[in-house]
Structure 1
Amino acid sequence: MLTAPAAGAKGSSEPSPVVELDGPRGVDVDQAGRIVVSEADGTVSLVIDRGRHPKVHEIGSVPAGFLAPAVAAGRPGQVYALTAGGEPDTGAATLYLLRQGKPAKPIADIAAYQQGDVDPFNTEGVPEESNPYGLAALKDGSVLVADAAGNDLLRVYPDGDIVTVARLKPRMVEVPEELPDEMDGEPLPPAGAVIPAEAVATSVTVGSDGYWYVGELRGFPATPGTSQIWRIKPGSRDAVCDPEKPNQGTCRRFADGLTSIVDLGPGSHGSVYAVELVKQSWLQWELGLADPPVGGLFRVRPGGSRTELAAGQLILPGGVDAGRHGRLYVTGPVFGPGALSRIG
């Protein structure tokens, strides 16, 4: 990790690098205003963004995966880290508790839980597959986990018990015109065909209104403009987020029309910040159709209206959280050399 002096004018809407990081993704601001960040090798650190020379303190580390873990600041002195997908009992797909100077403590094996909590709406892959991707801490000491393979939101208690809060159903989408005729030697559905696409729950945050918000990436064919944000009543269990009935039950649609959401952060007055990995969709990036892979950061207000911030300036962003004095912190690119940056 390399520290870097803050650049740019205070209040600027342009990203201003705070510290350089390798493959940064997770970001969360604790009660003291310190920023928790994660890197591709599993390192989790605290960043104090004051003055011209920010200070960085390593908290600990968790097993490295195919990308940096998600992080969340819990009660004072506690930080949670969530490793991405893998098999049970491997250290992957696991929630850890970190305390300064102590080894990471595994709290819950998410992959093991999903073996018995299969996705009833699965349309591709293995129904019991797990790829926990998003994380948010609650005041009672429990945490929320968004599982991108299980297409659900889980709640993990301090003793390791897990309950399923909500399941996100697939939605019917049109195959976009930009895709090739085949991929990996297999023919793709023709442009305009309507097929089911999984939700891929990547992100979760607790809004300023206390509700729980979940964001979608959107599975194959990753049609742009089909990612939703769901608003879930706190304390819910076994709720269903249904795009065919988006205004019923304890999980209701908050916003639609976004693309490849990978993180959410709380905003003021009931708004939510949403990070798009690639505005043309993650699939078009993987196919080499989005170069450069420009992502997006939006403030989404109740009712679904949104404003883009730092337009055209974020490459493969991974995370966002709100700090003090109207500042936002974003991480990225999620692969290779990157930074924790400040906006505002």
Structure 2
Amino acid sequence: MVQHPARLAMVGLGAAALVISGALPAQAGGGHGHHHGHKHHEKITTVAELSGPRGVDSIAPGKTLVTQDNGDLSLVVERGRHRDARVIRLSGLPESAGFSNAVSSSHGRTYVLTGAGEGAGSATLYRLMGDDLTPVADIGAYQVTDPDPNDLEDFPEDSNPYGVVALRDGTVLVADAAANELLRVWPDGTIRTVARVKPRTVAVPDGLPATDPEGNPLPPAGTQIPSEAVTTSVTVGSDGYWYVGELRGFPATPGTSQIWRIRPGTLDATCDPEAPDQGDCTRYADGLTSIVDLSADRHGHIYATSLSKMSWLAMELEVPGSEVGAIIELSHGGQQSREIAEDKVILPGGTDVASNGDLYLTGPIFGPGALMKIR
């Protein structure tokens, strides 16, 4: 069977996008580490206009770190209801490194993460030191020595760091979408694998064309095929556990993205969809779609950000309505969920919860976008 790229170049999730003609039918589907407050979130207001905003981290009420598609790391400072927020550029990445998909700060230490790319500085964890972003760890180089044992695409050394959360002890968690694993990075650059997420067998959705761009036949709808997890996101819950979210690789079947719960301090665990309740990595939630970010509040809620409720593949195929994403609030051990600001979230980049309970959101991720607040 022909294997298909699980990553998306267009959203910084990998080297090659699957570009095919045709359309998927409309289907609904259901980082940061701050343990903050909780409110019922419905109204969206624009805080500041940005360019292709991605990563977001609330460091204090009214003060939010954001990354943009021009490589900038900025601090957005709100100045009251009747004054525009101030956007302060803190630093920027070298052009060769691309842009940062994620940012996280803890105890005055701020980190940004670059994704896959051919230029120097890509697939790297950086720390803000004064006005400069200083490399801490080369994630791409590490993955060459730590190939994915469950790779489906004949590229087990692939790396595309996408999610980051700074821990209180000075270490940093990194979700690598291409390697399908969670990493832990120490201040001296040491990297260890926390957990690897195995592929999942999913049913091919309706509406795919008969062949891929090279003319290779694609499996018909309903065919069961293995699909990589594509681990895009990580957060720390109010219980102290580490949570990891999946995008889901080709065929991007809606409702097949999972969230995993990992015991703090774990190394070399396996997250197995066939045995989701065993070991140090267990399944927290299922039935989600195209997760690109996770955040948490102090009351035990996990917020899963979906790039598109139809799936990333539907978005890539430009299916009408596929630009509508979602923020799903999960509680009670992942057994209860509700959508926040239903149908108002467009191609989101990320979310984070402030200490006063306000939920911050970035998007759309392409072209003109904004930092927004949901309260």
TM-score range, shorter chain: over 0.9
Within 5 A, what are the aligned runs for 1:77-116? 78-87=109-118, 90-100=120-130, 102-116=131-145
Structure 1 position 227, deviation (Å) = 0.1
TM-score normalised according to structure 1 size: 0.93
Residue of 187, 190, 207 corresponding to 2:217: 187
Question: For structure 1, which segment, 39-48 or 266-275, has the greater mean C-alpha deviation from structure 2 after superposition?
Answer: 266-275
Alignment of 1:129-140 (within 5 A): 129-140=158-169
Alignment of 1:259-278 (within 5 A): 259-278=289-308
Give the aligned length. 332
Measure the CA separation in 1 of the matches of 2:69 and 2:338. Answer: 30
The CA deviation at 1:304 is 2.6
Residue 154 (structure 1) aligned with residue 183 (structure 2): yes
**1:291 positional shift:** 3.5
Higher relative contact order (CA closer than 8 Å, sequence separation 6+): 2
Within the candidate set 234, 238, 242, 1:212 is matched to 242
Deviation per residue, 1:226-273 (Å, 9 max, x gap): 000000000000000000000000000000000000000012332200
What is the rounded CA distance, in whole Å, between the counterparts of 1:330 and 1:135 in structure 2?
A: 16
Which secondary structure state, in structure 2, belongs to the residue aligned with residue 108 of structure 1? strand
* Secondary structure in structure 2 of the residue aligned to 1:330: strand
Distance 2:60 2:180 in 1: 30
The Cα of 1:335 is off from its aligned counterpart by 1.0
Quick check: 1:60 aligned with 2:81? no
CA drift of 1:292 comes to 4.7
Measure the CA separation in 2 of the matches of 1:284 and 1:11: 30
Is this contact kept in 2: 1:67–1:335, CA < 8 A? no
SS of the residue corresponding to residue 313 of structure 2 reads helix
Please tell me whether the aligned partners of residues 204 and 215 of structure 1 are also in contact (alpha carbons under 8 angstroms): yes
Q: Tell me the CA shift for residue 99 of structure 1.
A: 3.2
Given candidates 295, 316, 334, the residue that maps to 1:286 is 316
Whole-Å separation in 2 of the counterparts to 1:108 and 1:330: 27
Please, which runs of 5 or more residues in structure 2 have no aligned partner? 1-38
Q: How far, CA to CA, are the matches of 2:253 and 2:313 in structure 1? A: 9
In structure 1, list runs of 5 or more residues that go unmatched. Answer: 1-9
The letter for the 1-side match of 2:106 is G
Measured in 1, the distance between the counterparts of 2:310 and 2:360 equals 23
**Post-superposition offset of 1:288:** 2.0
Name the SS of the counterpart of 2:195 in structure 1: strand
Q: In structure 2, how many angstroms separate the alpha carbons of the residues matched to 1:229 and 1:290?
A: 27
CA shift for structure 1 position 326: 1.6
Could you list the structure 1 runs, at least 4 aligned residues long, displaced by more than 6 angstroms after superposition: none
Identity of aligned residues (%): 56
1:50: Cα distance to partner? 3.8
What residue number does 2:339 align with?
308
1:13 corresponds, among 36, 42, 53, to: 42
Offset, 1:180: 2.0
Residue 127 of structure 1, CA deviation: 0.4
